[in-house]
Chains A and B, each alone.
Chain A
Amino acid sequence: MHISEGILSGQVLSAGAVIAVAGTGIGLKKIDYDKIVHVAILASAFFVASLIHINIGPASVHLILNGILGLLLGFAAIPAILTALLLQSIFFQFGGLTALGVNVVIMAVPAVLVHYLFLPLLGKSSKLNFTAGFLAGFFSILFSSLLLGVALWFTDKNFFETSLAIIMTYIPVMIIEGVITGFCVTFLLKVYPEIIPKKL
Chain B
Amino acid sequence: MIEEKFASGQSFIHKLDPKTRIVAVIILSFAAALCDIFFVAVLYFIISTVLIVMARLNRKDVIERIKPVFWFLLMIWILIPITFDGQILYQFSWLKISGTGVILCCKITIKSITILLLFTSLVATMSIASLGNGLHKLYVPDKLIFLLLMSYRYIAVIEDEYKKLLRAAKFRGFRPKTNLHSYKTFAYLAGMLFVRASFRAQRVHQAMLCRGFNQKFHSLDIYQANRFNFIFLIGISAAGLSLVILEKIWI
Contact = CB atoms under 8 A, between A and B. Distances in A.
A176 B152 CA distance: 28
Contacts of B153: 44
Contacts of A15: none
A37 interface: yes
B150 A179 contact: no
A37 B76 CA distance: 40
Nearest to A91: B2
Nearest to B206: A37
Interface in A97-126: 97-99
A37 B155 contact: no
A4 B72 contact: yes
B84 interface: yes
B29 A97 contact: yes
Contacts of B110: 6
A51 B32 CA distance: 30
Interface string A165-180: 1000000000010011
Given A5-B115, A89-B119, A55 B197 contact: no
Contact of A6 (B79, B108, B187, B197): B108
B81 to A, nearest CB: 11
Interface in B227-251: none
A179 B178 CA distance: 13
Contact of A42 (B65, B187, B197, B215): B197
Interface in B157-171: 157-159, 162
Interface string B37-77: 00000000000000000000000000001101100100010
A98 B29 contact: yes
B80 interface: yes
B182 A54 contact: yes
B28 to A, nearest CB: 9
B178 A97 contact: no
A47 B155 contact: yes
Counting from the closest, the 5 A-B pairs by CB-CB distance are: A6-B111, A183-B187, A6-B112, A40-B150, A45-B197
Given A6-B108, A44-B151, 4 more contacts: A41-B197, A55-B176, A79-B144, A182-B187
